[in-house]
Amino acid sequence: MKKSYLYGIIIMLILMNGILLYQNYNLKKSRRTENVKNIRIPDVDLFDLDGHKTNLREFAGGSPLSFIVIFSPTDCGVCLSERVLWEEVRSRYQINLLGVASHPDKRELIQWIKNHRLSIPVVWDSAGLLRDALEVESSPLKLLVNSKGSVIWTDPARLSKEERVNFWQELENVFKGFD
């Protein structure tokens, strides 16, 4: 009797947490940046997990378009579910892709990347410099950046299959307009 009562409480807490996360996601999604013409990638240096320095502005300037994903790995279930999407963008469009992980513990970040077989290059933003500079409210946030370091498109988290279909349609439209 006591176990079933405890299980019931745990299930109720999980459901309540899921509802709150979904409501918070919808609130943040409604604040999505529509006008990105004045947003530029800051000229900051971040380090990959082997200690090699990456300047974000130089990374963006290395090709006509670059795709940057700002994510918080260990507290973002959507980040985990979207990682396949990020990898597909890189292979489909043959563009530079960089993950910017906001997480305070480097060892925990490395373990998360290994456990989930993330194959995109990742730099570590332990202090949240990029998140703060771009006023990122939720993760993952995907950015398409031109060679001048200007953000030309942003995209919030995608939870449902329908939203992911819309993602590809929107991205195709951006690429058509860029040619």
The alpha carbon torsion through 157, 68, 102, 156 (nearest 10 deg) reads -20
Query: What pLDDT score was predicted for residue 33?
Result: 40
Q: What does the pLDDT profile of the chain (179 residues) look like in tens digits?
A: 577 777 767 777 676 655 545 544 443 443 344 445 578 888 888 999 899 999 988 888 888 888 888 888 776 777 777 888 888 888 888 888 999 998 888 899 899 889 988 888 999 998 888 888 888 877 888 898 988 888 888 888 877 778 878 888 888 888 877 65
pLDDT, residue 94, reads 85
The pLDDT of residue 29: 41
Amino acid at site 156: P
Long-range contacts of 135-139 (CB under 8 A, 24+ apart): 136/70, 137/28, 137/31, 138/24, 138/25, 138/28, 138/29, 139/70, 139/71, 139/72, 139/76, 139/78, 139/79, 139/102
Angle (CA) 62 78 167, round 5°: 60
Q: Which two tokens stand for residue 25?
A: 């996601």
Residue 22: its pLDDT value, please?
A: 52
Among 101, 96, 86, residue whose Cα is nearest residue 58: 96
Q: What pLDDT is recorded for position 21?
A: 53
